[in-house]
Structure 1
Amino acid sequence: MSEVVDTKLSAARTRLILERPFLGALVLRLPLVEASPGWCKTTATDARSIYYNAEYISALTSKQVQFMLAHDALHCALSHFSRRQHRNRHRWDVACDFAINAMLIGEDMVPPDDVLYLKSFDGMTAEEIYPMLDEDDDRETLDQHLYDNHDDTSDSSDSELDASDAHGSGTPNSGWGYSGASGRPPPLGEMERNSLETQWQQHLAGAAQQAMQAGKLDGAMARMVDHFLQPRLPWRMMLAHYMTARARDDYSYLRPSSRRGSGAIFPSLRSGQLDVVVAIDTSGSVSIDEIGEFVSEINGLKGQIRAGVTLLMSDQEIVGEPVRFEPWEPMEVQSELIKGGRGTSFNPVFRWLEQQDSQPDILLYFTDAEGKFPADPPQLPVIWLIKGRGCVPWGERIQLN
Structure 2
Amino acid sequence: MDRTVTVLGNGVVHPRIAKQRTELVLSQPFFGSLALRLKMVEDRSTRECWVDGESLGYNPDYVDNLSDLELRGVLALKVMQVANGHCWRQGARETGRWSDSSQYAITPILTSSGFVLPRGALKDARFAGKSAEEIYGALTQEAKQKQPKPDQQPKSDQQAPQQQPKPDGQSSGPDGKGGGDKPDDKGGNSNPQSQAGGQSDPEPAAGASCGEVRQFSGPDKPVKEAEWKVAVVQAAKAAKMRGKLPGDLQAMAGEAVRPVVDWRAVLHRFAQQSSPTDYSFAQPNRRYLHLGFYLPSLHTPAVGDAVFVRDSSGSVFDETQAQFDAEILSVFHTLKPARLIVMDCDTRVTQVQIFERGDSPEIQPVRGGGGTAFTEPFNRVAADGINPAFLVYLTDMDGAFPAFAPHYPVLWASTTPLTRARRAPFGETVEVIC
- With the shorter chain as reference, the TM-score category is 0.7 to 0.9
Q: What residue in structure 2 maps to residue 357 of structure 1?
A: 385
SS at match of 1:284: coil
Amino acid paired to 1:202: V
Map residues 245-394 of structure 1 onto 2, 5 A cutoff.
245-251=273-279, 269-274=298-303, 275-307=305-337, 308-320=339-351, 322-335=352-365, 337-340=366-369, 342-357=370-385, 359-389=387-417, 390-393=421-424, 394=426
Q: Specify whether residues 310 and 138 from structure 1 end up closer, same or farther in structure 2 by C-alpha distance, changes over 3 A only.
A: closer
TM-score, normalised to structure 1's length? 0.75
Task: State whether residues 365 and 384 of structure 1, in contact with CA within 8 Å, keep that contact through their aligned partners in structure 2.
Answer: yes
1:103, CA displacement in angstroms?
2.6
Which residue of the partner structure matches residue 3 of structure 2?
A: none
1:121 to 127, 135, 139: 127
Structure 1 unaligned regions, length at least 5: 154-185, 255-265
What residue number does 1:160 align with? Answer: none
Give distance in 1, aligned partners of 2:296 and 2:190: 60
Q: Which secondary structure does the structure 1 equivalent of 2:308 belong to?
A: strand
Please give the TM-score of this superposition, normalised by the length of structure 2.
0.70
Alignment partner of 2:429 out of 393, 397, 400: 397
Q: Using a 3 Å threshold, how does the CA distance of structure 1 residues 53 and 190 change in structure 2: closer, same or farther?
A: closer
Which residues of 2 match residues 1-400 of structure 1 at below 5 A? 8-36=16-44, 39-133=45-139, 134=143, 136=166, 137-139=169-171, 150-151=188-189, 189-191=217-219, 193=221, 195-251=223-279, 269-274=298-303, 275-307=305-337, 308-320=339-351, 322-335=352-365, 337-340=366-369, 342-357=370-385, 359-389=387-417, 390-393=421-424, 394-400=426-432
Q: Which runs of 5+ in 2 are unaligned?
A: 1-12, 145-165, 180-185, 192-213, 283-294
How big is each residue's C-alpha offset from its partner over 1:125-162, in whole Å with a ceiling of 9 and x where there is no partner?
A: 2111112112532347989xxxx974499xxxxxxxxx
Matches of 1:269 and 1:350 in 2, distance apart? Answer: 32
C-alpha RMSD over aligned residues? 3.3
Aligned to 2:347, the other structure's residue is in SS state coil
Q: Deviations over 1:43-69 (max 9, x none)?
A: 333433333444544454433222111
Quote the Cα distance in structure 2 between the aligned partners of 1:273 and 1:149: 53
> Would the aligned equivalents of 2:47 and 2:62 in 1 still touch at CA under 8 Å?
yes
Distance 1:305 1:113 in 2: 54
State how many pairs are aligned.
Answer: 347
Closer/same/farther in 2, CA of residues 252 and 188 from structure 1, 3 Å limit: closer
Q: Which amino acid aligns with 1:396?
A: E
Deviates more, 1:303-312 or 1:44-53: 44-53
Aligned equivalents of 1:391 and 1:82: distance in 2?
27
Give the secondary-structure state (helix, strand or coil) at the position aligned to 1:97.
helix
Alpha-carbon offset, residue 243 of structure 1 = 1.2
Taking a change above 3 Å as real, the CA distance of residues 209 and 238 of structure 1, as seen in their structure-2 partners, is farther
Contact 2:109 / 2:248 at 8 angstroms: preserved in 1? yes
Residue pair 1:292, 1:333 contacting (<8 A) in 2 also:
no
> In percent, how many aligned pairs have the same letter?
28
SS at match of 1:109: coil
Aligned partners of 1:381 and 1:91: how far apart in 2? 38
The aligned amino acid for 1:329 is D
CA distance, structure 2, for counterparts of residue 253 and residue 215 of structure 1: 68
Say if 1:302 and 1:57 are closer, same or farther in 2 by CA, change over 3 A. Answer: same
Instruction: Tell me the distance in 2 between the aligned counterparts of 1:7 and 1:56.
Output: 14
376 and 12 in structure 1: CA distance in 2 versus 1, 3 angstrom threshold: farther
Tell me, in whole angstroms, the C-alpha distance in 1 between the residues paired with 2:14 and 2:236: 27
Q: Distance in 2 between matches of 1:25 and 1:289?
A: 37
Letter in 2 for 1:364: V
Query: C-alpha displacement at 1:250, in angstroms?
Result: 1.4
Q: Measure how far apart 1:311 and its partner are.
A: 1.4
